[in-house]
Amino acid sequence: MDFNMKKLASDAGIFFTRAVQFTEEKFGQAEKTELDAHFENLLARADSTKNWTEKILRQTEVLLQPNPSARVEEFLYEKLDRKVPSRVTNGELLAQYMAEAASELGPTTPYGKTLLKVAEAEKQLGATERDFIHTASISFLTPLRNFLEGDWKTISKERRLLQNRRLDLDACKARLKKAKAAEAKATCEGDTVPDFQETRPRNYILSASASALWNDEVDKAEQELRVAQTEFDRQAEVTRLLLEGISSTHVNHLRCLHEFVKSQTTYYAQCYRHMLDLQKQLGSSQGTIFPGTFVGTTEPTSPPLSSTSPTTTAATMPVVPSVASLAPPGEASLCLEEVAPPASGTRKARVLYDYEAADSSELALLADELITVYSLPGMDPDWLIGERGNKKGKVPVTYLELLS
């Protein structure tokens, strides 16, 4: 118990000395040991890395899970070291409602059939979103969170220890400065030759004794200063090495960022493919339900992700069966040059993507050009007749945006 009390008193004395030194520095009454410019730059870069990592982490969490209540729930599960329960995505929930509606309203009706098709597509979108969230959490969020909860806590601890070592060093410098000033004053008083005829020659003796005491105090302060300087230099080197490790952190975060972009690209490509398939299915069914009407969208569909990358062609360009396989019996032998456009029913259409004609019965298309289109009785609803100047041929509906 006695040892603990001594240690407590010693710690209290150190804390008081540091507090006095810190306060005097704030009021400009004490000198402060400044760190070199390179060290200050390392500190500034580390602080900036920490601040922006926190912001990116929080906003990515919002992107993956917009519901704040769900984010709080997941945070609590992680802190309790418990597995986060599987959560139904919004797309999967919408698919469930649509499927139930189709079952109640009649799955054989046109509306019910369409609900089932859209429900299946929404279910696929929800599953794709779930995979994306899982991949992004592992490859991107986890490394950022590990930096903040691991490396940065270590850096902060060493920086606080360095701050304490600096306060101890500056306090030792101030103590030595005061001791030297008192020693010089006592020495000046001791150098005066005493008048032994005076009634108080003991003043000379006391002055000489004080000078000796201050000499001992200076020696003690110099020893403490050397120890404090050694401790400060050692801690500064440890902190410097940790701060220089921020460069490795940047490299790691860069790799994680590439992984995040890759997973996000895969996610949107899969979503585009699912919606393109759904659009083709709805286009076919709409032609069956409403014969004689134009099939297509009034709004432009999403553009392809890349027109040059061979790995994404399947996910970015609509796949249209050949005309010969879609044409009803007798239509393949129809000479398009002999077909005259109807007196009414022609419309303008904007081409969404480049299309290369498979044979002489089809019309090659260039993105963003305007052509005239119309339908003929008995034609497959996925195809229209397109005219551009003197050229005429069949064109796929999925490549067009019909204009009014």
pLDDT at 123 over 70: yes
The count of domains in the chain is 2
Q: How many residues does the chain have?
A: 404
Residue 182 shares a structural domain with residue 37: yes
94 falls in which pLDDT band (50, 70, 90)?
very high
194 backbone dihedrals φ, ψ, rounded to 5°: -80, 150
- The strand order across the sheet containing 383-388 reads 391-396, 383-388, 370-374, 347-351, 400-402
Residue 114 shares a structural domain with residue 17: yes
- Show which of 265, 289, 313 is a domain's final residue: 289
Q: DSSP string spanning 298-349?
A: SSPPPPPS-SS-GGGHHHHS-----HHHHSPTTTTT--GGGPPPPSS--EEE
Which residues, 6 or more positions from 286, have their beta carbon under 8 angstroms from its beta carbon?
A: 293, 295, 381
- Show which of 250, 268, 289 is a domain's final residue: 289
Residue 234 shares a structural domain with residue 162: yes
* Helix-, strand-, coil-residue percentages of the chain, each rounded to 5: 65, 5, 25
Residue 136 shares a structural domain with residue 257: yes
Position 296 scores a pLDDT of: 44
Nearest to 175 by CA among 209, 221, 214: 221
Residue with the bigger pLDDT between 214 and 111: it is 111
Q: How does the average pLDDT of the chain come out, rounded?
A: 79
- Whole-angstrom distance, CA of residue 190 vs CA of residue 219: 19
pLDDT at 112 over 80: yes
pLDDT at 328 over 80: no
Residue 111 shares a structural domain with residue 242: yes
- Whole-angstrom distance, CA of residue 399 vs CA of residue 315: 15
Position 378 scores a pLDDT of: 80
Is 364 within the bounds of a domain? yes
pLDDT at 3 over 60: no
pLDDT at 379 over 70: yes
138 falls in which pLDDT band (50, 70, 90)?
very high
pLDDT at 212 over 90: no
264 falls in which pLDDT band (50, 70, 90)?
very high
pLDDT at 313 over 90: no
**Tokens coding 253:** 């975060």
Residue with the bigger pLDDT between 315 and 247: it is 247
Is 168 within the bounds of a domain? yes
Is 208 within the bounds of a domain? no
Residue with the bigger pLDDT between 78 and 140: it is 140
398 falls in which pLDDT band (50, 70, 90)?
confident
Position 245 scores a pLDDT of: 94
Position 282 scores a pLDDT of: 85
Which residues, 6 or more positions from 373, have their beta carbon under 8 angstroms from its beta carbon?
A: 294, 346, 347, 348, 349, 384, 385, 386, 387, 395, 400, 402
User: Which range has the worst mean pLDDT, 18-22, 36-40, 159-163, 369-373?
Assistant: 18-22
Is 282 within the bounds of a domain? yes
User: Which range has the worst mean pLDDT, 248-257, 276-285, 313-322?
Assistant: 313-322
Position 322 scores a pLDDT of: 41
Question: Do the beta carbons of residue 106 and residue 116 sit within 8 Å?
Answer: no
pLDDT at 189 over 70: no
Question: Do the beta carbons of residue 30 and residue 24 sit within 8 Å?
Answer: yes
Is 70 within the bounds of a domain? yes
User: Cα–Cα–Cα angle for 232, 237, 239, nearest 5°?
Assistant: 95
7 falls in which pLDDT band (50, 70, 90)?
low
66: containing domain:
10-190+217-289
For 358-368, what is each residue's pLDDT tens digit? Answer: 888 899 999 88
Enumerate long-range contacts of 361-368, CB under 8 Å, 24 or more apart: 361/323, 361/332, 361/336, 361/393, 361/394, 362/323, 362/393, 362/394, 362/395, 363/387, 363/388, 363/391, 363/392, 363/393, 363/394, 363/395, 364/393, 365/395, 365/399
Position 53 scores a pLDDT of: 96
Position 320 scores a pLDDT of: 42
Residue 350 shares a structural domain with residue 281: no
- Show which of 289, 311, 332 is a domain's final residue: 289
pLDDT at 95 over 80: yes
Position 48 scores a pLDDT of: 96
Is 296 within the bounds of a domain? no
**Tokens coding 272:** 């585009």
- Whole-angstrom distance, CA of residue 394 vs CA of residue 382: 10
**Tokens coding 226:** 């050397």
Position 101 scores a pLDDT of: 95
pLDDT at 230 over 70: yes
Position 356 scores a pLDDT of: 86
pLDDT at 135 over 80: yes
Position 220 scores a pLDDT of: 85
Residue with the bigger pLDDT between 302 and 26: it is 26
**Tokens coding 358:** 């498979």
Is 315 within the bounds of a domain? no
